[in-house]
Structure 1
Amino acid sequence: MSYANQSQALSVIVFNITVGQQYQGVLERVLFSVLTGMPCCVFLFINGTMLFTLRSKTVFCETPRYILLYNLIFADTAQLACSQLLFILAACRILLTYPECGILTMFTKLTNDISPVTLVVMSLERYVAVCHPLRHATMITIRNTGVAIIAVWAFSSINVVTRVILLVHFPFEGLQMQDVCSDIGMLFEPLTSHYDKVYTSALFLSATVAIISSYIGVMAAARSASTDKASVRKARNTLLLHLVQLGLILSSTMHTNIVQLLSTIFQRLVIVRIKSVSYVFIYILPRCLSPLIYGLRDQTIRPVLLYHLCC
């Protein structure tokens, strides 16, 4: 598809959604806002409780894998909060200026890129713990973990800086946006769109290869008689969980393409309803799995997390 055709298709999507909202009754708009806002508030509370839990005891602050988990949940929580803010602005039809929308979408993009890269680091940490247990204490230290987290944020920031540079020379016709703020609304030039597709594909392909390679290494180590079978089983399940999380994050990245495809099949009001429902399952749900799964699986975190969740 050429960029001109893609831009025309995106314009049709935005028009259909905007006009479709006009056909929605006030009661229906309120109902959809409540149905999407309530799960988001619940998951924000759970994520916030998990973040507080990971800072409530010394063992969590001094264990590398818990530090990496904190970084992952922090990025997911920030992504969830920004996505909900953009959803509220779109539901209320509040138009922002290009700088305001750019800051929100770039921060959303930053936190969205941090999650898969952090999953790669966590997978490598599990690989070292199983395949090189004697070197794990010297390789995976608090200092090295901090350096890895800084590298994750720096690497993800490069993508944001590149996107900003690509937007600098675009001739904006005034600062006020004509449509609701969204990530796709900030793709103005063919180069920006192509770069975004190439970067996203390369990022998730590299992350998938790294996690699968770690899984293969763990499975190979399971054949050794000296390897702790229980540790291998837990590491294997954790790596499979990372693959599932990566797939869910990828689905949220492909959300716009899915809406594009459905817009050619269904009517505009149906697209608005599908977009609201898919927002819950594609955007909100992946951001709450980490604290729920890790918090309930880990014997150290579980009692502390349940204690704080029950106030």
Structure 2
Amino acid sequence: MSKNSTAENGSIGSSPMGRTVNERVLIVQVLVGIFLYINCLMIFTFFKKEAFHNNVRYILFSHTLFCDTLFLIISDTLLVINFSGTTMPAGLCMVIYAISGLLNFATPLTLTAMCLERYVAICMPLRHAEISTRRRAIYCIFVIHAVSSIQQFIIFSMVVLSSPPSFYSMLLVCSVENLVFVKWQQNLRSAMSQLYFVAISFTIAFTYVKIMAAARAASSDNKKSTSRGHRTVLLHAFQVTLGLVMLWLPLIETLVLEADFNAVKQLRYFNYIVFILAPRCLCPLVYGLRDENFVLVLKYYVLFGFYKRISPIKIPPS
């Protein structure tokens, strides 16, 4: 980096625009800190209550929290790096983005698996105990990460095949545009994201329609459970929709980048708040705080053991 660019970066920090950027980054840090605290508290609650360990719903929920927590840490670090203009070796940037991308896709895929679990519980109740087991939940998590890694492996391979050896030690601001710099690579990345979008959307729509049909046919005794499952899937659908919109962001940011380079940072800030932070703060609200058993255990640890209504809780294995 030249002395002129360094001086420009120094002057930006004291300019009105620089102060606005610093304020925005500070706001993000506060929000991320709050969400990380909530997520870590819920992960701690899951591990402290053994009854949660054999229930597929809680296993998948804890996996979502774990992926969201790591993704928030990495994505927030990249946001600060991008706004500050800090550079790093291209090889390190590739590894960071590969991990970030894997975690990013793991969350909507896990939510899709949770919707399928609710579909089995409501529409196939006699087979639910057979299908929804702890072992299968663990296998499902491995499949989720395998599917999530497909796009990252292809993008990683494209960069490796199209870049000279000197590229990996080159210092650059860590962003996808600096890694995927050929037009057809950007198009392929966008097309794969849309494929994920269509597959996940179809699966969630299928479970929603089936649970709706089961709700209409359910007896009065099962209405409450079916209605709760229907609301859960609907909330998951909204959460996943926010998350899946992010799969369109590479295409949108590419179009904006061609029109106005300075507008990309503003767009990324908005996208980060609405399509990255928002879906991940909804997860504890949608699943954790709506679950009576989980809330009781959570209250016990939040209040340092003074909340005593936890003892009679009996959680079914699936």
- Would you say same fold, with TM above 0.5? yes
CA distance in 1, matches of 2:170, 2:121: 50
1:210 corresponds to 2:203: yes
- Gapped runs of 5+ residues in structure 2? 1-8, 305-318
Kindly indicate whether the alpha-carbon contact (under 8 Å) linking 2:193 and 2:248 is maintained by their aligned counterparts in 1: no
Query: SS where residue 96 of structure 1 aligns?
Result: strand
Deviates more, 1:62-71 or 1:296-305: 296-305
The match for 2:96 is 104
CA distance in 2, matches of 1:21, 1:203: 39
CA distance in 2, matches of 1:267, 1:186: 17
Post-superposition shift, 1:35? 1.1
Matches within 5 A, 1:70-81: 70-81=62-73
Q: Deviations over 1:239-262 (max 9, x none)?
A: 111111111112333334444556
Cα separation, partners in 2 of 1:232 and 1:21, compared to 1, 3 Å: farther
Cα separation, partners in 2 of 1:292 and 1:177, compared to 1, 3 Å: farther
Equivalent residue in structure 2 for 1:201, among 166, 189, 194: 194
Kindly indicate whether the alpha-carbon contact (under 8 Å) linking 2:242 and 2:275 is maintained by their aligned counterparts in 1: yes
1:166 corresponds to 2:158: yes
1:50 corresponds to 2:64: no
1:189 corresponds to 2:154: no
Q: Deviations over 1:126-170 (max 9, x none)?
A: 011001111100111111111111111112122222222222211
Matches within 5 A, 1:199-238: 199-226=192-219, 228-238=222-232
Matches within 5 A, 1:246-257: 246-257=240-251
Q: Deviations over 1:214-266 (max 9, x none)?
A: 11111112233447111110111111111111111123333344445566887
Cα separation, partners in 2 of 1:272 and 1:204, compared to 1, 3 Å: closer
Matches within 5 A, 1:17-32: 26-32=18-24
Post-superposition shift, 1:288? 1.6
The match for 1:60 is 52
- Gapped runs of 5+ residues in structure 1? 1-17
Matches within 5 A, 1:150-161: 150-161=142-153
**Corresponding letter in the other structure for 1:242:** H
CA distance in 1, matches of 2:139, 2:285: 27
1:239 corresponds to 2:239: no
Kindly indicate whether the alpha-carbon contact (under 8 Å) linking 2:102 and 2:152 is maintained by their aligned counterparts in 1: yes
Deviates more, 1:69-78 or 1:301-310: 301-310
Cα separation, partners in 2 of 1:114 and 1:135, compared to 1, 3 Å: same
Q: Deviations over 1:76-130 (max 9, x none)?
A: 1111111001012123321011111001111111011111211221111101100
**Corresponding letter in the other structure for 2:100:** T
Aligned length: 293
Cα separation, partners in 2 of 1:222 and 1:283, compared to 1, 3 Å: closer
Query: Of the two structures, which has the highest relative contact order with CA contacts closer than 8 Å and spacing of 6 or more?
Result: 1
TM-score, with length taken from structure 2: 0.83
**Corresponding letter in the other structure for 2:95:** I
Query: SS where residue 297 of structure 1 aligns?
Result: coil
**Corresponding letter in the other structure for 1:281:** V
Query: SS where residue 108 of structure 1 aligns?
Result: helix
**Corresponding letter in the other structure for 2:112:** V
CA distance in 1, matches of 2:37, 2:72: 11
Kindly indicate whether the alpha-carbon contact (under 8 Å) linking 1:248 and 1:282 is maintained by their aligned counterparts in 2: yes
Kindly indicate whether the alpha-carbon contact (under 8 Å) linking 1:95 and 1:176 is maintained by their aligned counterparts in 2: no
1:94 corresponds to 2:73: no
Identity %: 30
The match for 1:299 is 292
CA distance in 2, matches of 1:79, 1:132: 34
CA distance in 1, matches of 2:180, 2:116: 34
Cα separation, partners in 2 of 1:197 and 1:94, compared to 1, 3 Å: same
Cα separation, partners in 2 of 1:121 and 1:81, compared to 1, 3 Å: same
Q: CA RMSD in A?
A: 2.6
CA distance in 2, matches of 1:127, 1:281: 28
Kindly indicate whether the alpha-carbon contact (under 8 Å) linking 1:90 and 1:180 is maintained by their aligned counterparts in 2: yes
